[in-house]
Amino acid sequence: GCAAVVSVIAVTENPFASPNSLSPHSKKLDGEAEFDTSGRFVMNDFDTKKPMANFLSGLGGIWGIPMWAFYVNRGQGITAFGIQNKDGGIAKFNTAEKAYQQTPFTAFRTFLKGTRGKEKFHSMPFFPSGYDDEHPNRKMMIGMNEMEIEEIDTQNGIQTNVLYYTVPNEDFPALIRKTTFTNTGKDSVSLEILDGLGRLVPSGLSNAALDGIGRTMEAWMNVYNAGDKTITQPFFHISQGTADTAQVQIIKDGHFSLAFEETDSGSPTLLPFVVDPSVVFGVDTTMTDPSEFYNAASLEDVLTGPQGTTSRTPCSFAGLSKTLAAGASVTIISIYGHAPSLDSYLNVVTPVLLQEKFVEKKRKEATDLAKEVTSRVESETSSPIFDSYIKQSFLDNALRGGLPVVLGDVEKPKIYHIFSRIHGDLERDYNQFQLDTTYFSQGPGNFRDVNQNRRVDVSHTPAVADFNVRMFLSFVQADGYNPLTVASTLFKIPNATVPSLIDSMALETKQSAALEKLLQKSFRPGQLFSDLAKAGVPVKSNRNKFLDTVMSAAVQSPAAQYAQNGYWADHWTYTLDLVDNYLSIYPDKEEYMLYDADPVPFFMSPAVVKSRSARYSLMAKDPSQPQSMVLRVFSAVSAWGEKDFPTERQKALEAIFGDPHFLGEPNVVGGPGGTWQRIKDKDLTVCAVSPIAKLALLGIIKFSTLDPSGMGVEMEGGKPGWNDAMNGLPGILGSGMPETYEMLRILKYVQSSLNKYSRPVVFPKEFSTFLYSLQTALNYIPSSNENGDLHFWNAANDAREMYRASTISYFTGETEKWTASDLASVIDMMITRTQKGIDKAVALNGGLSPSYFYHECSNYGLTSLNKPIANTFNLHTLPLFLEGPVRHMKVLSTIEEKRDVYARTKASEMYDQELKMFLISGSLASMGPDVGRMKAFAPGWLENQSVWLHMSYKFYLELLRAGLFEEFYTEMKPGLVPFMDNDVYGRSPLEAASFIVSSAFPDPKLHGQSFLARLSGSTAEFLSMWVLMFFGSNPFTVDSNGTLQLQLLPALPGWMFTKDDNIASSTFLGTIKVVYHNPNRIDTWTSVPKSVTMTTLTGKTISSDNGILVGENALLVRNQGVTLIDVYF
């Protein structure tokens, strides 16, 4: 049922100063957001509001199988759901614009025939109202792991509630739909009810086939287990595979639907189904009018009459007749899911579904699962809406980057990320999301997304330690680039260990043999359990113990895949943030992490960046003037299968794939794996270097790719940076300042580490040779010389191309050692040159950093092979983009410099005066179409001058990092989602979106409306804000004697403390409650804590009068031996 509703009403004075309202926010002064007592956002009259697409979280739990489900605020909400990916739809996946239109007709429907006294009525709850019809009162309640809709039909005296949630912690995926009818009239009512799914897609069909040849595909469709008279357990799948091949595929797995009336106790009686839509709608293919049902003599006649079960798209409507006294209710439970076979559905799944209190139990588990996931960031301030936003952001961040869990030996834990998936949904229809139908479910993601969304992992799960740092450094290739797709890590039991491991488990001989065979190949936890079940070795009891035993014996390998048509310019820029996060918790481990931890390998993709002569081509700048030729780069990378792909690299990759020790995706040739570049020795040893060597290599290679003007990093890999809508920029020799700033950060960090630890760094000889060449160029081609930047560009490119040619297949295995002082000296020259380029770039805009350039070349020569060679370039600076100032602030030294960037940015055209938010860019009117698809979009839409939350959140985060706290909280009012007017924003104020339509858009009705829900990079930025707001940038530090200490320095404004007891709290390291006591309600950044008291797991209290915990006490906190920390201001 629907929980009671409370209103969150904006106050009329400064909303941040008032603790009186339930949730202070900066909405329109007459605006309000509603939440029910379960904390669910309430969208009133949802089907007449702006169209909105969303999804259930798809959490199956660690020991469950997930189901995806998308919904819109039209019809009965759920528009598509299924298993694994778009091809596993039970209700077909449609893109958003189709879903808004079709959902009321083809998704879940409800038909009522009622009799109240002598009056008869027909009703279709939640169906679109006619022009003259009275619109019922409708609400949508959006929770973290469920969604409910409600309709109050005063005309017919019926209230209808429909609740949806997916089933966690079971061996099958399923969606529960709980439909409750309440008689709100004064006398009894008799109802004949049909309730269910308008179109159900039988298992075995791809989404593309349904879209392209859907009518043909209907010939394969069948409903099985249809029975003789009534159908109570229909099973839906195609008759056989649809491929036109000699080998016929037999389809056994299928979708199911099952329904029963909810009762207080006892075994439920299954309700009969209608699976033939013509029985309901006749020949009305629009599915508007259920005339056959309404005209039937009785529901019984409909349910027992003949039905077609083949060669058509079936429906799935459960039928029930019920008389309700005034105030009484009846609930139909419908469960839709998937099973590997009809036998499995009937004999394994069904008994589980029909267990007493199963539905109630699963709702509690679904709710508890979301609470458990978000407990790592549980917070309390004077703003409940902000507290809830923290939790929702954490959940959505985990869905994109994964939730880290610890497997195996707690002393040597293995970190594994679960629940992640690429962010595909109704609006992000271009992405192919994947939710594995296994325990520990997860799916692959993009390097950039996963890297950013794991940025604060160590802050909430300290066991992660340097896992993320090492993994993403491992993906850095010898050429400085990385693969696109990041998959969950793989595991393998060393062959020599397998027999003793199996002996320790005391299995039967048959089971031992099956397990030994499975453990010969690589695996992931969920797939291992699935394969064990198929092999007849099910593990039902002590699953955790079994898994820990296996994981303790396993070796772990990161897994990735090239999976692209070029290399992104920015992906590497996020890894230093992982280092920073690690050091904020483990500052005492820095030297070990950089120098003494196991070395990290080099990923090797089946693609190489071409040399300039190979990638440059000529094109007429003006088609009407064929002689106006300029350089272009339309083929920057050579990939496996292309005629110019180096044969020696292909052979090297084939050797890797053929290595018995190679850890790759099981049974997937060329799939994600640990494709590590080798040394050319008899064992083909994996080449690996220390983390500091890899960081230095990365920074130095990126320095060598500075553009001919010495300012931006070139997009030589054929892909742009963070702003991927600039897809054309690499083709016109584009470069970016954002990457320059991040390269500078890496060089400065490596230099400071060299100076701090004075230890040598060992490089592969090939890289050392390259470094010597750069050193020579730095010494002999100063940037102050005429054309110095151009000459250096040529020299750096020559050196880099020679280096890449020398590592195209193998490393020799020879190494060279650079002393700390020698390497720091070379890096210092790089830093100096880079800073000069930055100064030059910033001067172009009078103090505000540009973001992107391109270098036009019409002055060129030709090689002996008739290939163009650039002689000189003309620099072109693109309009203002927010990314430039955002990243520039990261390398500025003083708070005054950063405040100046903030002021200049707010005074620029990148600030939307109407919305009071920052735009992704200024006007792009002066740009030509060849920069990329952003020019195809109207101003204010997508990446063209909209409010792109990920980037505006990055800007707010830099304000916090800079110590510009008052400025941050000023911008937080209009700029953070929970404080926006949700009627304008268009969805729950707890859920971020990718972009907000700005006032530059030509249609003012859309100004301020959000699109592309939830799985946005903004969640990563917000969680970084959360860390800084509640704990400070570096909670753990080491003093001059190397002693670990902990000092929590929150940056919370006085208004965020509760009025009654003047406290604010959050969760530190995922388990420790931190309570800040602020009796004078000061802004905490204006002071430091006076004292701190911690409570250990045993209940002992330990205090410090200066607010700093030192040595063993700090270590006890980091080891999570503390439950509570009280900090006093």
CB atoms inside a 10 Å sphere around CB 302? 23
- Owner of token pair 């005063």: 154
Is residue 156 predicted with pLDDT exceeding 50?
Answer: yes
Is residue 1068 predicted with pLDDT exceeding 70?
Answer: yes
- What pLDDT is stored for residue 783 in this prediction? 77
The Cα–Cα gap between 353 and 356 comes to 9
- What pLDDT is stored for residue 229 in this prediction? 84
Let me know: does 91 contact 466? Beta carbons within 8 Å.
no
CA dihedral 653, 658, 663, 668 (to 10 degrees): 90
Q: Closest by alpha carbon to 316, among 223, 215, 252?
A: 223
Let me know: does 53 contact 36? Beta carbons within 8 Å.
no
Indicate the residue type of 654: E
Residues in the chain: 1129
- Owner of token pair 């209608």: 274
Let me know: does 609 contact 636? Beta carbons within 8 Å.
yes
Q: What is the CA radius of gyration of the chain?
A: 31
pLDDT tens string 959-991? 999 999 999 999 999 999 999 999 999 999 999
Sheet holding 1101-1104, edge to edge: 1063-1068, 1072-1077, 1122-1128, 1091-1096, 1101-1104
Listed in sequence order, the residues at least 6 apart from 947 whose beta carbon sits closer than 8 Å to its beta carbon are: 912, 915, 917, 918, 919, 920, 995, 996, 997, 998
Confidence of residue 507 (pLDDT cuts 50, 70, 90): confident
- What pLDDT is stored for residue 669 in this prediction? 62
Let me know: does 363 contact 146? Beta carbons within 8 Å.
yes
- What pLDDT is stored for residue 27 in this prediction? 34
Structure tokens at 552: 């303790």
CA angle 977, 980, 983 (to 5 degrees): 115
Average pLDDT in the 224-247 region?
Answer: 93
pLDDT tens string 539-584? 877 899 999 999 999 999 999 999 999 999 999 999 999 999 999 9
Is residue 495 predicted with pLDDT exceeding 80?
Answer: yes
Confidence of residue 7 (pLDDT cuts 50, 70, 90): very low
Q: Say if residue 31 is exposed, middle or buried (CB neighbours under 10 Å; 0-12, 13-18, 19+).
A: middle
Is residue 150 predicted with pLDDT exceeding 90?
Answer: yes
CB atoms inside a 10 Å sphere around CB 1009? 19
- What pLDDT is stored for residue 132 in this prediction? 66
Let me know: does 1056 contact 1126? Beta carbons within 8 Å.
no
Let me know: does 947 contact 992? Beta carbons within 8 Å.
no
CB atoms inside a 10 Å sphere around CB 958? 22
Is residue 12 predicted with pLDDT exceeding 70?
Answer: no
Of 17 and 665, the one with more pLDDT: 665
Let me know: does 93 contact 105? Beta carbons within 8 Å.
no
- Owner of token pair 């300290």: 462
Of 1062 and 628, the one with more pLDDT: 1062
Is residue 264 predicted with pLDDT exceeding 90?
Answer: no
3-state secondary structure 208-246: HHHHHHHHHHHHHEEEECCCCCCECCCEEEECECCCCCC
The Cα–Cα gap between 428 and 1012 comes to 7
Let me know: does 1088 contact 1081? Beta carbons within 8 Å.
no
Confidence of residue 10 (pLDDT cuts 50, 70, 90): very low
Is residue 6 predicted with pLDDT exceeding 70?
Answer: no
The Cα–Cα gap between 25 and 12 comes to 10
Average pLDDT in the 9-17 region?
Answer: 33
Indicate the residue type of 1116: L
- What pLDDT is stored for residue 135 in this prediction? 84
Average pLDDT in the 252-267 region?
Answer: 93
CA angle 430, 434, 435 (to 5 degrees): 145
CA angle 541, 544, 549 (to 5 degrees): 110
Indicate the residue type of 744: L
| Chain center to CA of 637 | 27
CA distances from 1003 to 796, 939, 1009, 1101 (A): 49, 10, 11, 61
The Cα–Cα gap between 180 and 177 comes to 10
Confidence of residue 28 (pLDDT cuts 50, 70, 90): very low
Strands (E), 930-1062: 947-948, 993-996, 1010-1013, 1036-1038, 1044-1046
Average pLDDT in the 397-405 region?
Answer: 96
pLDDT tens string 509-519? 778 888 888 89
Question: What are phi and psi for residue 391, nearest 5 degrees?
Answer: -65, -45
Structure tokens at 108: 């879940």
Q: Closest by alpha carbon to 875, among 846, 841, 842?
A: 841
- What pLDDT is stored for residue 129 in this prediction? 84
Of 322 and 668, the one with more pLDDT: 322
Of 664 and 9, the one with more pLDDT: 664
Confidence of residue 32 (pLDDT cuts 50, 70, 90): low
Question: What are phi and psi for residue 1099, nearest 5 degrees?
Answer: 95, 0
Average pLDDT in the 1062-1089 region?
Answer: 98
The Cα–Cα gap between 797 and 791 comes to 10
- What pLDDT is stored for residue 620 in this prediction? 87
Confidence of residue 131 (pLDDT cuts 50, 70, 90): low
> Which residues make beta-bridge pairs with 341?
none
The Cα–Cα gap between 30 and 260 comes to 45
- Owner of token pair 């459960």: 318
Look at 626-630, 706-710, 734-738, 1024-1028 and tell me which has the smallest mean pLDDT. 626-630
Structure tokens at 706: 């500075």
Of 424 and 968, the one with more pLDDT: 968
Listed in sequence order, the residues at least 6 apart from 1049 whose beta carbon sits closer than 8 Å to its beta carbon are: 1031, 1032, 1035, 1084, 1085, 1088, 1089
Average pLDDT, the chain: 94
Q: Closest by alpha carbon to 138, among 199, 77, 57?
A: 77
- Which is it for the CA torsion 673, 679, 685, 690, positive or negative? negative
Is residue 5 predicted with pLDDT exceeding 60?
Answer: no
Q: What is the C-alpha end-to-end distance of the chain, expressed in Å?
A: 44
Confidence of residue 624 (pLDDT cuts 50, 70, 90): confident
The Cα–Cα gap between 80 and 201 comes to 10
Average pLDDT in the 832-837 region?
Answer: 97
Let me know: does 809 contact 651? Beta carbons within 8 Å.
yes
CA distances from 126 to 42, 52, 192 (A): 16, 16, 17
Q: Where are the alpha helices (DSSP H) in 907-1004?
A: 949-961, 965-975, 982-985
Is residue 438 predicted with pLDDT exceeding 90?
Answer: yes
- What pLDDT is stored for residue 623 in this prediction? 77
Q: Closest by alpha carbon to 60, among 436, 360, 345?
A: 436
- What pLDDT is stored for residue 504 in this prediction? 85
Question: Read out DSSP for 1035-1084?
Answer: SEEE-TT--EEE-------GGGS-TTT-EEEEEETTTEEEEEE-TT---G
Average pLDDT in the 736-753 region?
Answer: 98
The Cα–Cα gap between 523 and 517 comes to 12
